[in-house]
């Protein structure tokens, strides 16, 4: 039985982002930037707020690193693969070498089924508005996942090691991981993964992460947003 600590945002059909723990206060930005004065405060003055704005606008990034967010994420493997490209953070993921893979697979909602047009560097996506096509896609994907899972179970029943049998599991299967990251690296992740170029699916997960960031460091989040969501 799983009991989650912390609040959880559900994302897509089986995914979620939850904040397990954090050490994240706007005041840490001020104190680390003001180390020069050898003092630290617990409450923010208007001048402190303006300092955060200044640091954000002038891309002084290091004061935004003295904090930490520990997330627990469940998402499709193809989303996790993009996520793990972000090297400034810590990951621990579910392993298909030692445990059975998770029998949950991503099938997009019909309104998220889309077609891609354009050229490299300027793709655009249009919804597939035809219900018959959506139904076909839904059915084909569901069958493919079911077939892959049955093959996986067959391979396991033949005695094949989990680490080999997983070869047939599709990248639409869900996985889970812990991700610990500071606000500077998180802002960089969000700026890239909330952007127009990012795939719709990872944008939903990034949006969930953003709500936790906004909740814990509202002043930092506000100036980051004002600044075009560019990471300092």
Catalytic residue annotation: 193
CA-to-CA separations, 87 to 81, 163, 180, 183, 186, in angstroms, rounded? 12, 25, 11, 14, 11
The least distance separating a copy of itself from the CB of residue 152, rounded to whole angstroms, comes to 8
Residues between 105 and 144 with contacts to a copy of itself, criterion CB under 8 A: 105-106, 108, 113-116, 120-121, 123, 125, 128, 133, 136-137, 140-141, 143-144
Taking the C-alpha atoms of residue 29 and residue 218, their distance in angstroms, rounded to an integer, is 12
Taking the C-alpha atoms of residue 211 and residue 41, their distance in angstroms, rounded to an integer, is 26
207 in contact with a copy of itself (CB under 8 A)? no
The least distance separating a copy of itself from the CB of residue 33, rounded to whole angstroms, comes to 7
DSSP state of 173: B
The least distance separating a copy of itself from the CB of residue 27, rounded to whole angstroms, comes to 10
Question: Under DSSP, is residue 2 helix (H, G, I), strand (E, B) or coil?
Answer: coil
Piece of the chain touching a copy of itself by CB under 8 A; list 7-15, 178-186, 203-211, 212-220: 178-186
Among 19, 14, 22, smallest CA distance to 4 is for 19
| Binding flags for a copy of itself, 80-99, as an x/- string (CB under 8 A) | -x--xx-x--xxxxxxxxxx
Specify whether the CB–CB gap between 55 and 63 falls below 8 A.
Answer: yes
155 in contact with a copy of itself (CB under 8 A)? yes
Judged by CB under 8 A, the residue of 7, 62, 109, 111 near a copy of itself is 62
């Amino acid at each position: 039985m799983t009991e989650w600590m912390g609040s959880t945002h559900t994302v897509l059909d089986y995914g979620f982002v939850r904040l397990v723990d954090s050490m994240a206060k706007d005041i840490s930005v001020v104190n680390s930037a003001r180390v020069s004065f050898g003092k630290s405060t617990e409450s923010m003055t208007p001048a402190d707020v303006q300092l955060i704005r200044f640091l954000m606008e002038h891309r002084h990034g290091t004061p935004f690193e003295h904090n930490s967010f520990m997330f627990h994420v469940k998402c499709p493997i193809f989303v996790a693969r993009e996520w793990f490209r972000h090297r400034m953070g810590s990951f621990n993921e579910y392993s298909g070498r030692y445990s059975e893979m998770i029998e949950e697979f991503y099938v997009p909602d019909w309104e998220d089924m889309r077609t891609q047009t354009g050229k490299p560097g300027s793709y655009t996506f249009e919804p597939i508005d035809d219900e018959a096509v959506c139904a076909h896609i839904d059915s084909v994907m569901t069958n493919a996942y079911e077939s892959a899972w049955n093959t996986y179970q067959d391979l396991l029943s033949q005695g094949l090691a989990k680490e080999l049998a997983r070869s047939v599991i599709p990248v639409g299967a869900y996985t889970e991981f812990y991700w610990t990251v500071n606000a500077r690296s998180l802002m960089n992740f969000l700026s890239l993964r909330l952007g127009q170029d990012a795939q719709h699916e990872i944008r939903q997960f990034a949006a969930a992460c953003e709500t936790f960031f906004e909740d814990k460091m509202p002043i930092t989040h506000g100036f980051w947003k004002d600044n075009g969501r560019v990471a300092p």
